[in-house]
Amino acid sequence: MMINIILGVLVLLLIGTTYWFYQATIELKSNIKVKEAVHISERQEQDRTIHSVRDDLNNLAMNTSKVITDLRNELSKQVGRNKSIEVRTGLIMEKLVPFTEVFKYDPSQARFLGSPIDLICFEEDCVVFVEIKTGEARLTDSQKRIKSLVDNGKVKFEIIRIDHVSKEK
């Protein structure tokens, strides 16, 4: 009988221990699932953050590109405006320079042409071709060619006589 009691106690201990292990296993599995869920949630949050940062960077890149394009366009317009102002200033100065102290010829002997050379001055001992430039303006190709012809003495004086003018009826 004592053996039956000992066996009964052992069976109860075995059942209790098995139940305890079973409960511990369930709790462990539950903890693992909770940790996996937390890990998945954290990973999903990291992925959302990464996507958000990536989207923000893409938007920033597009906005920066647009700003750079807008600035380039505005700079181009401003350069065009400045060039236009320089050209207009030059056109005005071409007409005013003969009346300033920088003009070393007799203004009454200067004749305005405008193109391709601004002025021709008829001095007592020479004829002077004058081109007026403002800022950093340079001679055009045509003006360079004319200057070369003058520098090389390739200038002529020619008389064209018209003796008879016919009238058509």
Task: Calculate mean pLDDT across residues 2-19.
Answer: 77
CA–CA distances in Å: residue 74 to residues 8, 66, 110: 97, 12, 41
Domain tally, the chain: 1
Residue with tokens 């959302």: 48
Quote the CA–CA distance of 122 and 131 in Å, as a whole number: 14
DSSP string across 140-163: -HHHHHHHHHHHTT----------
Task: Calculate mean pLDDT across residues 90-110.
Answer: 88
The pTM of the full predicted model, rounded to 2 decimals, is 0.50
In a domain, 123, yes or no: yes
- Contact predicate 130/118, CB 8 Å: yes
pLDDT score of 103? 92
Task: Calculate mean pLDDT across residues 84-105.
Answer: 86
pLDDT score of 79? 86
Quote the CA–CA distance of 161 and 163 in Å, as a whole number: 6
In a domain, 22, yes or no: no
In a domain, 37, yes or no: no
pLDDT digits (tens, 9 = 90+) for 115-140: 899 999 999 999 999 998 887 889 99
pLDDT score of 167? 63
Residue with tokens 């360079």: 144
Task: Calculate mean pLDDT across residues 1-29.
Answer: 78
Report whether pLDDT(62) > 70: yes
Report whether pLDDT(4) > 80: no
In a domain, 121, yes or no: yes
Domain enclosing residue 69, as ranges: 60-154
In a domain, 7, yes or no: no
pLDDT score of 37? 78
Among residues of the chain, what percentage have pLDDT more than 90?
28
In a domain, 98, yes or no: yes
Question: What is the rounded average pLDDT for all residues in the chain?
Answer: 86
Q: Which residue has the higher pLDDT, 78 or 36?
A: 78
In a domain, 27, yes or no: no
> Radius of gyration of the chain from Cα atoms?
49
Quote the CA–CA distance of 145 and 94 in Å, as a whole number: 20
pLDDT score of 13? 77
CB count within 10 Å of CB 20 equals 10
In a domain, 31, yes or no: no
Quote the CA–CA distance of 13 and 30 in Å, as a whole number: 25
